[in-house]
Amino acid sequence: MKVLHRLAAAAVLLLAPSAAEAHLVNTRLGDFYGGALHPLTAFEEVLPWLALAALAAFQGAARARWLVVVFPLSLFAGCALSQLLPSPSFIPAIAVALIAITGLSVAAAVRLPLPVLLGLAAVMGFVHGLQNGQAMTATTDQLLFILGVTAIGYGVMTIATGAAIAFLRGVGSWRPIVLRASGSWVAAVGIMVMGLQFLTPVMN
């Protein structure tokens, strides 16, 4: 009987009428989702992330594992410091150059020393963190936004790296070729966008 009362009380508490927050953007968690979605809205960030994951896969699982730690932490650091540091004017140029560099590295399937791979991940994470952090306004819950950016960086990098490693482990000599071809696509995009950034002012 006592158990029945407790269950009834729990049911009443669970069924207590409150507004259904189907859209969490209206709640305090909205800034978390804002941060999580922000990097996904631009090819300038998604492309090099995927290329970096493919590059890490070419280095083997043992080395690629470090990326899952270093990249999100760098994103976090960049995003957090964006509120303290002025954004240098050359940051967009570095971001675009990173697309070309990672794409070319994947196309060539280069074997990088671990510090170089992690250095590339750290620079990319930091630069993208700085850029994403610039999107925060005075009303943004900075901690939630930064955590959102970091979480999506961690999620994308983990899934993409894992998928690329699993893909390379499959049967067929065409598998690395597919990754290398996709790397050449990323590099081509990076080279052209870099040209657009550096050469268009000359036109005007």
Partner 1 sequence: MQNTPLRSSLPIAVLLTLVPLTSALAHTGAGVASGLQSGFLHPITGFDHLVAMVAVGLWGAQLRNPAIWILPITFPLVMAMGGLLGVSGVPLPLSEPVVALSGIALGLLIALHVRLPLVVAMLVVGIFAVFHGYAHGRELPDAADPTAYAVGFVVATGLLHLCGIVIGLLITWPIGARAVRACGAAIGCVGAYFLLASLGVIQ
- Asked if residue 181 binds partner 1 (CB under 8 A), the reply is yes
Residue indicated by tokens 């990249």? 71
- Asked if residue 193 binds partner 1 (CB under 8 A), the reply is yes
Residue indicated by tokens 């943004």? 140
- Asked if residue 203 binds partner 1 (CB under 8 A), the reply is yes
Count of residues touching partner 1 (by CB under 8 A): 26
- Asked if residue 120 binds partner 1 (CB under 8 A), the reply is no
Quick one: 14 or 174, whose CB is closer to partner 1?
A: 174
- Token digits for 159? 């899934």
What's the CA gap between 155 and 58, in Å, rounded? Answer: 19
What's the CA gap between 14 and 8, in Å, rounded? Answer: 10
H/E stretch holding 49 reads helix 43-58
Q: Using the rule CB under 8 A, give the single segment among 69-77, 112-120, 144-152, 182-190 that binds partner 1.
A: 182-190
- Asked if residue 196 binds partner 1 (CB under 8 A), the reply is yes
- Asked if residue 135 binds partner 1 (CB under 8 A), the reply is no
The burial of 35, by beta-carbon neighbours within 10 Å (0-12 exposed, 13-18 middle, 19 or more buried), is given as buried
CB of 39 to partner 1, least distance (A): 13
CB of 102 to partner 1, least distance (A): 14
Quick one: 148 or 183, whose CB is closer to partner 1?
A: 183
Binding mask 78-117 for partner 1 (x = CB under 8 A): --------------------------x--x----------
Nearest by Cα to 51 from 108, 8, 92: 108
What's the CA gap between 83 and 90, in Å, rounded? Answer: 17
What's the CA gap between 124 and 102, in Å, rounded? Answer: 10
CB of 204 to partner 1, least distance (A): 9
SS3 131: helix
Q: Which of 7, 21, 43, 111 binds partner 1 (CB under 8 A)?
A: 43
Positions in the binding site for partner 1 (CB under 8 A)? 41-44, 47, 104, 107, 174, 177, 180-182, 184-185, 187-189, 191-193, 195-196, 199-200, 202-203
